[in-house]
Amino acid sequence: MCLSGFSMLTWKEVLAQHKTLRGIGRTSLLVDRGESGYKNRFLPDGSILYPGEGLCGHQQPTQGNRVLLEALAAQTPLRVYLREGPNRWRDLGLYRVASVAYRLEEAERRYVYWFRLEPLKRAS
């Protein structure tokens, strides 16, 4: 994933925009490389497979998962912030929720939402 041209932000700056300590806000998402316990998958085409909210039990279409399901239905873009390290974040720009799959994760013995986030093209 190429990150050139993205400026570094502090957590305070991200929180001022994201407005919640949860990973899924009304207009933005937080992603990392596993530090939070969630296993985001960064794909070569720039898309992100984003697991739904909830680390135990079957995930439900409530809270953050509902926000993402509504964004998919309305095609509302969401801003994505990537955690690079302690107090270091990158604004990856706007993404749209392109699709969702609700599937059994056999190793965890539970159903999990997987949201496919696709970056919106930046104006050049």
8-119: CATH topology is PUA domain-like (2.30.280)
One-character DSSP codes across 35-94: TTS---EE-TTS-EEEE-S-SSS---SSHHHHHHHHHHHHT--EEEEEEEETTEEEEEEE
What pLDDT is attached to residue 19? 94
Side chain identity at residue 68, one-letter code: L
In 3-state terms, what secondary structure has residue 28? strand
The predicted model scores a pTM of 0.88
Return the residue matching tokens 């994201």. 18
Each residue's pLDDT, cut to its tens digit, for the chain (124 residues) gives: 445 456 799 999 999 999 999 999 999 999 999 888 888 999 999 999 999 998 889 999 999 999 999 999 999 999 999 999 999 999 999 999 999 999 999 998 999 999 999 999 755 4
What pLDDT is attached to residue 124? 47
What pLDDT is attached to residue 90? 96
What pLDDT is attached to residue 36? 81
Domain boundaries, the chain: 8-119
What pLDDT is attached to residue 5? 55
